[in-house]
């Protein structure tokens, strides 16, 4: 037999069906709340409905027929408290299935992907579902919380994180780190809820909090360990000359490289750099005795024999300084340059010509790509080499050799 649930508005039909019953069906019964031990307050209408049989209602959760003809509402109330029904309530609460409480319109709001993933506040749920009646709130709060499937909650979190990254143009490489960070923060929710960080307070805390602490620990280490300096000057994004001083030392068999200071220089002369270094030492009260060596590039300002920065440090501050020579990359560059001098820069000219020929003309680029496809050579757009690094010239040379046949074919038509 097929049961058909009857809805409000079909009272006339129900009257006809129930005409032989002692107790007639009333839809107001469904709004009744029953307090059930161990699960809390349950609304009858969540599980029970009127069907098209005389004197019968049906519990959807237990798949059972209830005869209310004799005792009316009490039959329904008693059923809700039966062992089978209570078991089914608990099953629904602990399961991924959406409990009846989740069918409330306010609970549904939780499902859209950007809705807050937190569960509803118990108090608001009680107000909404229990009306003016007074069930014990402590129990009801347990029952009425919407249960959202775990997988949905995970997806929502992931969506929130990627949306935040997209909105703030964060690099995708940060995704994994951001998740770890959020997990670390959420370990202490109480503290997290108290965190208020604005732009200026963040800047203040970085400068006078975190940076200060790290610097103090570093200075502490440098006072007791031998260390080397690594100095270079560069031009910052706002076109200022900045001298960066790094220190490297070993601690617990681990080599550490840390930033000691960055100083703005008006002119990068050897005396300016020397004074900036002395100033950094004095400010942090670092002992010159612990300085082992100074690494820098091989320019005259840094390594000049008469008034280079390293020479002055050795003469005036640290006579025991090891001569570690300059930056090995610079040395290699100088060696490679003198080794290549018989070629009269022919290779460099070739590289820059190739670069210019294909950089600006998309037609040339696509023709060259076609030739590469025919020759089964992988195609790359010719790049420019960096002026002061031999390694980049080596890369360009390898690239040119790989595509040489294609170049020959391409330029054949011009000759
Ligand atoms: Zn039931």
Lowest mean pLDDT among 13-22, 121-130, 350-359: 121-130
Strand partners, 244: 232, 262
Lowest mean pLDDT among 96-110, 283-297, 303-317, 355-369: 96-110
For the stretch 156-175, pLDDT in tens is 899 999 999 999 999 999 99
Lowest mean pLDDT among 87-96, 134-143, 260-269, 385-394: 134-143
Rounded distance between C-alpha atoms, residue 368 and residue 354, angstroms: 11
**Highest mean pLDDT range out of 8-22, 113-127, 360-374?**
360-374
Query: From ligand 1's centre to the CA of 89, what distance in Å?
Result: 8
Query: From ligand 1's centre to the CA of 81, what distance in Å?
Result: 8
Other C-beta atoms lying within 10 Å of the C-beta of residue 127: 12
Query: From ligand 1's centre to the CA of 298, what distance in Å?
Result: 86
What pLDDT is attached to residue 257? 93
The total number of residues shown for the chain amounts to 415
Rounded distance between C-alpha atoms, residue 413 and residue 108, angstroms: 70
**Closest to 272 (Cα-Cα) out of 260, 264, 262:** 264
For the stretch 327-384, pLDDT in tens is 777 778 888 788 878 877 888 888 889 999 888 888 889 999 999 999 999 998 888 8
Strand partners, 257: 248
How would DSSP label each residue in 266-282? SS--HHHHHHHHHHHHH
Contact 247, 227 (CB under 8 A): yes
Phi and psi, residue 59, nearest 5°: -95, 115
Query: From ligand 1's centre to the CA of 16, what distance in Å?
Result: 26
How would DSSP label each residue in 247-269? EEEEETTEEEEEEEEEEEESS--
Name the more confident of 390 and 87: 87
What pLDDT is attached to residue 1? 61
Strand partners, 246: 230, 259
Query: From ligand 1's centre to the CA of 350, what distance in Å?
Result: 86
Query: From ligand 1's centre to the CA of 153, what distance in Å?
Result: 29
Query: From ligand 1's centre to the CA of 214, what distance in Å?
Result: 64
Query: From ligand 1's centre to the CA of 139, what distance in Å?
Result: 20
Indicate if the pLDDT at residue 116 is higher than 90.
Answer: no
Question: Percentage of the chain with pLDDT > 70?
Answer: 86
Contact 35, 135 (CB under 8 A): yes
Strand partners, 241: 235, 265
Rounded distance between C-alpha atoms, residue 258 and residue 245, angstroms: 9
For the stretch 216-265, pLDDT in tens is 999 999 999 999 999 888 888 888 889 999 999 998 889 999 999 999 98
DSSP 242: E
Query: From ligand 1's centre to the CA of 336, what distance in Å?
Result: 87
Query: From ligand 1's centre to the CA of 86, what distance in Å?
Result: 8
Average pLDDT over residues 133-144: 45
Average pLDDT over residues 147-152: 81
What pLDDT is attached to residue 92? 78
Name the more confident of 93 and 370: 370
What pLDDT is attached to residue 101? 42
What pLDDT is attached to residue 115? 45
What pLDDT is attached to residue 95? 58
Indicate if the pLDDT at residue 131 is higher than 50.
Answer: no
What pLDDT is attached to residue 117? 44
- Which residue has tokens 């390898």? 398
What pLDDT is attached to residue 373? 93
Contact 75, 114 (CB under 8 A): no
> Which alpha helices (H) appear in 102-210, and where do they start and end?
105-108, 122-130, 137-144, 150-167, 175-186, 189-193, 199-205
| Helix axis angle, 404-412 to 390-402, nearest 10° | 70
Name the more confident of 2 and 270: 270
Query: From ligand 1's centre to the CA of 28, what distance in Å?
Result: 18
CB-based burial label for 329 (10 Å; 0-12, 13-18, 19+): middle
Indicate if the pLDDT at residue 15 is higher than 90.
Answer: no
Query: From ligand 1's centre to the CA of 92, what distance in Å?
Result: 12
3-class secondary structure, 221:
helix
What pLDDT is attached to residue 102? 44
Query: From ligand 1's centre to the CA of 145, what distance in Å?
Result: 20
Query: From ligand 1's centre to the CA of 171, what distance in Å?
Result: 53
Indicate if the pLDDT at residue 204 is higher than 90.
Answer: yes
Query: From ligand 1's centre to the CA of 64, what distance in Å?
Result: 7
Average pLDDT over residues 254-280: 90
Query: From ligand 1's centre to the CA of 62, what distance in Å?
Result: 4
């Amino acid at each position: 037999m097929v049961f058909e649930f009857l809805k409000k508005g079909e009272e006339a039909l129900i009257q006809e069906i129930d005409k032989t019953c002692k107790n007639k069906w009333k839809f107001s019964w469904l709004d009744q709340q029953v307090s059930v031990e161990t699960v809390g307050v349950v609304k009858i209408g969540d599980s029970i409905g009127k069907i098209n049989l005389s004197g019968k209602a049906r519990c959807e959760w237990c798949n059972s027929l209830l005869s209310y003809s004799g005792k009316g509402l009490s039959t329904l109330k008693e059923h809700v408290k039966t062992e089978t029904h209570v078991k089914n309530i608990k099953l629904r609460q602990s399961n991924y299935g959406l409990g009846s409480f989740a069918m409330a319109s306010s609970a549904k709001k939780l499902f859209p992907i950007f809705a807050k993933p937190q569960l509803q506040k118990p108090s608001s749920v009680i107000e909404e579902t229990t009306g003016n009646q007074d069930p014990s709130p402590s129990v009801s709060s347990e029952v009425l919380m919407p249960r959202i499937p775990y997988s949905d909650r995970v997806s929502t979190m992931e969506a929130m994180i990627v949306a935040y990254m997209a909105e703030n143009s964060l690099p995708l490489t940060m995704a994994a780190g951001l998740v770890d960070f959020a997990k670390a923060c959420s370990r202490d929710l109480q503290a997290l809820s108290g965190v208020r960080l604005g732009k200026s307070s963040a800047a203040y805390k970085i400068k006078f909090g975190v940076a200060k602490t790290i610097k103090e620990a570093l200075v502490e280490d440098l006072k007791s360990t031998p260390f080397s300096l690594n100095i270079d000057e560069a031009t910052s994004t706002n076109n200022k000359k900045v001298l960066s001083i790094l220190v490297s030392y070993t601690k617990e068999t681990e080599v550490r490289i840390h930033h000691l200071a960055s100083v703005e220089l008006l002119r990068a002369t050897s005396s300016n750099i020397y004074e900036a270094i002395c100033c950094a030492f004095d400010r942090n009260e670092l002992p010159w005795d612990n300085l082992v060596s100074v690494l820098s590039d091989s320019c005259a300002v840094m390594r000049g024999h008469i008034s280079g920065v390293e020479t002055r440090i050795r003469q005036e501050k640290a006579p025991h300084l090891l001569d570690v020579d300059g930056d090995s990359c610079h040395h290699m560059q100088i060696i490679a340059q003198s080794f290549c001098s018989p070629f009269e820069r022919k290779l460099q000219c070739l590289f820059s010509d190739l670069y210019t020929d294909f950089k600006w003309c998309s037609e040339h680029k696509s023709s060259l790509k076609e030739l590469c496809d025919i020759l089964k050579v992988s195609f790359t757009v010719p790049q420019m080499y960096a002026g002061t690094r031999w390694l980049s010239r080596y890369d360009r040379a390898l690239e040119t050799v790989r595509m040489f046949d294609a170049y020959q074919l391409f330029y054949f038509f011009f000759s």
